[in-house]
């Protein structure tokens, strides 16, 4: 649009110059004296016209430069681009400067920090779906961010890329990397397919952590579920991250209460009431639970 306006203006100014030449030509038919006077008058008219057009020309040139540029909502601040999520504008005294976040990060207008570029999983881009061209390498699809292992079957390893430098991170046993949160989560939450099977870990007594996830009373997944020992009232198992078993025990005089998931006095645990009956200061060797709690 601005280019078209400038072309029209150039044609208009050029036409005026042609008109001035015609006036000089007419002077040729009447002699040198008249021709000279008319040339002066023609030049005077052209200069007068230029003085009128020049401010308009400057205004239109300025319009052509600023047309389509970002308009600062306020004199100072950082503001998002309407289409590109990793582009923003920094306004100083009402003048906008276009800027880009580091490759892999996006601009968060709600961030109160000076540096408003953040990880994509922390920012709602909405309709700002465009991004700058990626600068990738083997392990980093973009120069910054958290990225899955390039082998789809390796779900428990991911990379933290900072300016293209990748640091390998291994999830705790049994967890998978989730690119939408940048963290390690349970496989069901990650929803990844084709992952390699995790080897089941067993203790010497044969105990292994159940594959089913354990939830608390609020329906939340328990990160490190606890299970009662099937024979020893004083012992229990802790499954780290739900997959790595560790045998633990209560202090002398207490037994594990599966209902409260805490060590408790024997009389509060069905089947373990008489666990320390013979020797209250020491757990009997080889004694088994009279019954297992549900």
What is the tens place of the pLDDT at every residue in 106-164? 999 999 888 999 999 999 999 999 999 999 998 999 999 999 999 999 999 999 999 99
Run of H or E residues at 138: none
pLDDT surpasses 60 at 54: no
Q: How many angstroms separate the Cα of 232 from the Cα of each of 79, 169, 246? A: 64, 38, 15
Of the candidates 277, 263, 271, the one whose C-alpha atom is nearest the C-alpha of residue 292 is: 271
> What's the CA gap between 30 and 206, in Å, rounded?
123
Compare 258 and 69 and report the one with higher pLDDT.
Answer: 258
Determine the pLDDT at residue 157: 93
Three-point CA angle 144, 148, 152, nearest 5°:
150
Measured distance between the N- and C-terminal CA atoms of the chain, rounded to whole angstroms? 79
Residues 144, 165 contacting (CB under 8 angstroms): no
Structure tokens at 273: 């009431």
Which DSSP category does 249 fall into? E
Burial class (CB in 10 A: 0-12, 13-18, 19+), 160: middle
Determine the pLDDT at residue 280: 54
Only one residue has tokens 């690119």, namely 179
Region 145-190: CATH code: 2.170.140.10
Of the candidates 184, 234, 242, 175, the one whose C-alpha atom is nearest the C-alpha of residue 208 is: 242
Q: How many CA atoms lie within 13 A of 23 on its CB side?
A: 18
> What's the CA gap between 101 and 87, in Å, rounded?
6
Range 154-181 average pLDDT: 93
Residues 193, 187 contacting (CB under 8 angstroms): no
Which of 2-11, 105-114, 239-248, 284-293 has the largest mean confidence? Answer: 105-114
Range 249-278 average pLDDT: 93
Compare 218 and 121 and report the one with higher pLDDT.
Answer: 121
Q: Is the full-model pTM beyond 0.85? A: no
Cβ atoms within 10 Å of 270's Cβ, excluding its own: 15
Longest CA pairwise span in the chain (Å): 143
> What's the CA gap between 283 and 275, in Å, rounded?
7
Residues 87, 81 contacting (CB under 8 angstroms): yes
């Amino acid at each position: 649009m601005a280019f078209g306006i400038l072309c029209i203006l150039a044609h208009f100014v050029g036409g005026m110059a042609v008109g001035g030449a015609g006036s000089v030509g007419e002077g040729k038919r009447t002699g040198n004296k008249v021709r000279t006077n008319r040339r002066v008058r023609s030049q005077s008219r052209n200069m007068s016209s230029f003085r009128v057009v020049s401010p308009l020309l400057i205004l239109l040139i300025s319009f052509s430069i600023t047309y389509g540029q970002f308009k600062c909502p306020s004199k100072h601040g950082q503001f998002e681009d309407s289409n590109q999520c990793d582009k923003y504008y920094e306004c100083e005294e009402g003048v906008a400067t276009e800027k880009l976040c580091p490759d892999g990060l996006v601009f968060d207008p709600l961030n109160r920090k000076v540096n408003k570029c953040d990880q994509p999983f922390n920012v709602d881009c909405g309709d700002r779906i465009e991004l700058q061209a990626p600068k990738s390498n083997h392990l980093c699809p973009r120069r910054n961010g958290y990225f899955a292992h390039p082998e789809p079957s390796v779900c428990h390893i991911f990379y933290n890329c900072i300016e293209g430098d990748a640091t390998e991170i291994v999830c705790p046993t049994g967890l998978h990397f989730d690119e939408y949160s940048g963290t390690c989560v349970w496989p069901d939450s990650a929803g990844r397919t084709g992952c390699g099977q995790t080897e089941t870990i067993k203790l010497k007594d044969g105990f292994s952590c159940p594959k089913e996830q354990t939830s608390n009373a609020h329906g939340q997944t328990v990160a490190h579920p606890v299970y009662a020992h099937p024979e020893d009232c004083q012992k229990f198992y802790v499954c780290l991250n739900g997959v790595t078993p560790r045998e633990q025990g209560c202090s002398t005089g207490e037994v594990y209460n599966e209902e409260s998931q805490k060590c408790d006095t024997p009389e509060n645990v069905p089947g373990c009431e008489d666990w320390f009956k013979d020797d209250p200061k020491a757990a009997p060797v080889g004694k088994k639970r009279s019954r297992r709690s549900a």
